[in-house]
């Protein structure tokens, strides 16, 4: 009888999901790219990219080189047991939970969607233009069993940008 609490803890732990920290290599923030094109060209290309992909712009300040987009939904994924992205086209990677029994991976916390702010800073440099891309202020929506409804929480730690969105921007302004 003395070991019953310990047995219960072991039983609960053995049936639960395990947390899997990120293993892959992801770009540091801010993501910085360079092009030999002039600032005005890059500026126009970013505006064009925004309009072609339905990214609403919240702030445009050409004098400081800043473009801030409205909060938008971002594609996301987690890694498999080897640290490879389950969806290689996703913009955000989040930690996953996995079940040892059937070797399946699920997204930690079960987010339904992730949204965040994108800001781009365009700056003239001696050899052309520098473009900084940041994805910040991430939040996720999930079903709360406590509140029996969908709730939105901040996604503070453990997530990384996959570099996919930043790569699209860098390629577009070349």
10 within some domain:
no
125 within some domain: yes
Domain presence at residue 83: yes
Asked, for residue 121, whether it belongs to a domain, the answer is yes
Q: Which two tokens stand for residue 92?
A: 């955000």
Number of separate domains in the chain: 1
**Cα distance from N-terminal residue to C-terminal residue, the chain:** 71
Residue 50: domain span:
17-172
pLDDT in tens, 46-91: 999 999 999 999 999 999 999 999 999 999 888 887 889 989 999 9
Residue 38: pLDDT above 80? yes
pTM equals: 0.78
Q: Is residue 133 assigned to a domain?
A: yes
For 121-160, what is each residue's pLDDT tens digit?
999 999 999 999 999 888 887 766 777 777 777 776 678 8
Indicate whether 6 belongs to any domain: no
**Would residue 9 count as lying in a domain?**
no
Q: Does 7 reside within a domain?
A: no
């Amino acid at each position: 009888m003395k070991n019953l609490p310990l047995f219960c803890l072991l039983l609960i732990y053995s049936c639960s999901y395990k947390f899997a920290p990120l293993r892959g290599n992801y770009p540091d923030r801010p993501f910085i790219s360079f092009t030999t094109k002039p600032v005005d060209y890059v500026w126009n290309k970013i505006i064009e990219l925004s309009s072609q992909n339905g990214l609403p712009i919240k702030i445009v300040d050409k004098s400081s080189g800043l473009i801030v987009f409205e909060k938008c939904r971002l594609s996301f994924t987690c890694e498999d047991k080897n640290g490879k992205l389950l969806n290689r086209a996703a913009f955000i990677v989040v930690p996953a939970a996995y079940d040892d029994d059937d070797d399946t991976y699920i997204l930690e916390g079960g987010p339904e969607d992730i949204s965040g702010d994108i800001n781009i800073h365009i700056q003239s440099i001696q050899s052309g233009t520098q473009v900084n891309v940041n994805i910040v202020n991430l939040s996720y929506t999930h079903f709360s069993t406590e509140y029996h409804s969908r709730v939105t929480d901040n996604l503070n730690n453990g997530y990384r940008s996959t570099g996919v969105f930043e790569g699209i921007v860098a390629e577009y302004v070349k």
